[in-house]
Amino acid sequence: MGPLESLSAIRESGIVAVMRKMEVDTCIRVAEALLEGGIRVLEITVDAPRAAEMIYSVSQALQGEALVGAGTVLDPEAAVAAIQAGAAFIFSPCLDPEVIQTANRYGRVAIPGVMTPTEMVQAASAGAPAVKLFPASVLGPGFIKQVNAPLPHIPVIPTGGVDERNAAEFIRAGAMAVGIGGSLLKDSVERGAFHEITQRARSLVERVLEARA
């Protein structure tokens, strides 16, 4: 899948599920639970020792049924390692033009973290097709509504503090999609209650669809 197709898949999904610091087998089970609940874009953060293995294993296990990418990518080296493991997209909590250039060089989508209109424009100028508003809870949905007026050509994906209570509000404000992790998984991973993850995923998908309608 090329960068335009990946971006389209993220837009269509409306939800990017963030999976952080898990064992490989657990990561696969969580990914399957999320997919069963209707979430088809999965971000595996690279701040774990076996992150590349997780990206590869989940990609293989889901066999193209979900778009799997990397998150918390801080430098070009981490981007290359994630891409070589099979990451279809690269999310960063910060803006680094070299990470964007690296992803573009390998035909992947790079979505850097931003917090100001200036950073949004800098990210777009560096080649990013969308930006990650982080931490989104600090600025809130109103920021997206306001910034969309002068910068409607830069899609925004709020992440950080997004949960089932405010996800729809971010979508209605103009967000292309939302990134959500801890509030979606909660303590269900530790307890092995993967059915709860599926239920939350299904509920979140419904809320996003209603907000778009």
- Mean pLDDT in residue range 89-115: 98
Separation CA 69–CA 83 (nearest Å): 8
**Cβ count within 10 A of residue 190:** 9
- DSSP-derived pairing of the beta strands 131-133 and 156-158: parallel
Q: Would you please indicate which residues are annotated as catalytic (active-site) residues? A: 43, 132
Give residue-wise pLDDT tens across range 28-62.
999 999 999 999 999 999 998 899 999 999 999 99
Give dist(CA 212, CA 200) in Å, integer. Answer: 18
d(CA 26, CA 185): 12
Residues in contact with 36: Cβ distance below 8 Å, sequence separation at least 6, in sequence order: 198, 201
Q: Write down the pLDDT at residue 1.
A: 73
Token representation of residue 144: 């997206």
Average pLDDT along the chain: 96
What's the pLDDT tens digit per position in 157-198? 999 999 999 999 999 999 999 999 999 998 999 999 999 999
The answer to whether residue 63 scores a pLDDT higher than 90 is: no
Residue 45: its H or E element: strand 41-45
H/E stretch holding 68 reads strand 67-71
The proportion of the chain whose per-residue pLDDT surpasses 70, expressed as a percent, equals: 100
